[in-house]
Amino acid sequence: MITNLFGTDGIRKTVGQSPFTAHELPLLGWAIGNWLRAKYSSNIELLIAHDTRQSAAFIKAALKTGLLAHPITIHDAHILPTPAVSRLVQQHENMLCGIVISASHNPYQDNGIKIFDASGNKLSQEDSNHINTLFHEAKHSFSPSYTHFGTEHQADWLTQSYISSVCALFTPHFLSGVHVTLDCAHGATHYVAPKIFAQLGAQVHELCTTHNGININDSCGSEHPHYAQHAVIENKSDIGFAFDGDGDRVIAINKIGTIKNGDHIVATLLDHPDYADQPTIVGTEMTNQGLAVYVQQKNKQLLRTPVGDVHVLRRLTAENLLLGGEQSGHIIMRDISNNADGIITALRMMEAILYSGNWHMDTFKPFPQTLINVPISIKKNLNELPLSAIIKKYATQLDTSSRLLVRYSGTESIIRVMIEDANETHAQTVCAELSLALKKELHVA
């Protein structure tokens, strides 16, 4: 049985581990090229971009080695947010694929590959499986012809194309007079986010826009919003936004320094005229129960999916709905895009706030939620003994109104333990004890 390269959001590993090695990356490029030729036949052009990690250039070069063994054309846009690639592929008919080299919110030692099809959507399971099969076949049959090669072009102009495209979605200068703090996590939004906000009229205070290859997400950005929180207060900004390394996530901070996660962002967006009449929104298993109550009070419904914005999108599409998101800051607005874009989400929030006057983003009261990420060495089936018995033991210590969720991360070697309970102290105690029990079972010293 062959190993599956793809997790919940593309391929993501520590650099130096398969397939992020000098030997296997060209094979992966060759496999992607074979998939493209099988899917689109001829005249294949693709867009490639990356975030600011020091390994990006190495991965890109090695991947191109395999890609350019096919008669395809590569447009290299260099540093761009992940959602920018999705949007540009969708807008440029000649682009049949987009590849982003990024590990999103992970530390710099990790990297990843996300692939978009000709519609700018993340790959279907069928396409992912096809590439996975072709990659493993390439280990035994990598045989370029050496007679027909691909070509590449530098495509820095696509950066301005993305900026213009986003600005065109909003009323010119609608942010005039608004003071905004932007934490770009030393990542892919470091240039485009300040430019877009300034072009729409905002007075921008920039944070974490100087990258050196190893400082992406380092004590900043959406994973560490307290850095932006202090800056919002110090600079007396009207609002702040913290993006992650590749720009698909965003966390907000109001003018008094209160951090607002993805659940609060979804709630705030319900004040936007375009979403006020939506009967149903989509969240995940991690969505706070307080949001569910808030939505119900508005005579709306919350649907939950497994964690991952791809699951949110599938449910939105199946139900023909417009708004959904994750607590982590992935927000999807299907009237604008099928992929989460932190910059567009922040701007859409600004429209909602300017419309409602709710600058503090006061919406719902969250249920106390305790989340512990436990480093592990191995993964075992959570529905089988002994893990199922361990989880059941601690679940019985909670009230029927409480929520317990245990799941493996799809991108990191951790297991996440989440408990929502009206008694926060009790939730913290049970969560800590359960996390310790799981660590003993899943961690190999």
The residues annotated as belonging to the active site are: 104
| CA–CA dist 118, 95 (Å, integer) | 6
Q: Outline where 308-423 has alpha helix (H).
A: 309-319, 342-356, 387-395
First to last CA, the chain: 27
**Could you write out the DSSP letters of every residue in 110-141?**
EEEEEEE-TTSPBPPHHHHHHHHHHHHHHHHH
Can you tell me the distance from the alpha carbon of 407 to that of 273, in angstroms, rounded to the nearest whole number? Answer: 36
Q: What is the DSSP pairing of strand 73-79 with strand 45-50?
A: parallel
Query: Do the beta carbons of residue 322 and residue 342 sit within 8 Å?
Result: no
C-alpha 261/C-alpha 266 separation (Å) is 9
**Region at 53 (left for phi over 0; alpha for psi -120 to 50; beta for the rest):** beta
Smallest CA-to-CA distance from 285 within 361, 369, 343 is with: 369
Contacts of 357 (CB under 8 A, 6+ apart): none
Euclidean distance between CA atoms 419 and 348, whole angstroms? 31
| Tokens describing residue 442 | 């899943």
| Angstrom distance (rounded) from CA 193 to CA 223 | 17
How far is Cα 316 from Cα 313, in angstroms, rounded to an integer? 5
Q: Locate 251 and state its tokens.
A: 């966390």
Tokens of 151: 């070509």
Are 205 and 190 a contacting pair, CB within 8 Å?
A: no
Paired strand residues for 203: 179
Q: Is the dihedral of CA 184, 189, 191, 193 positive or negative?
A: negative
**CA pseudo-torsion sign 240, 245, 250, 253:** negative
Other C-beta atoms closer than 10 Å to the C-beta of 301 total: 15
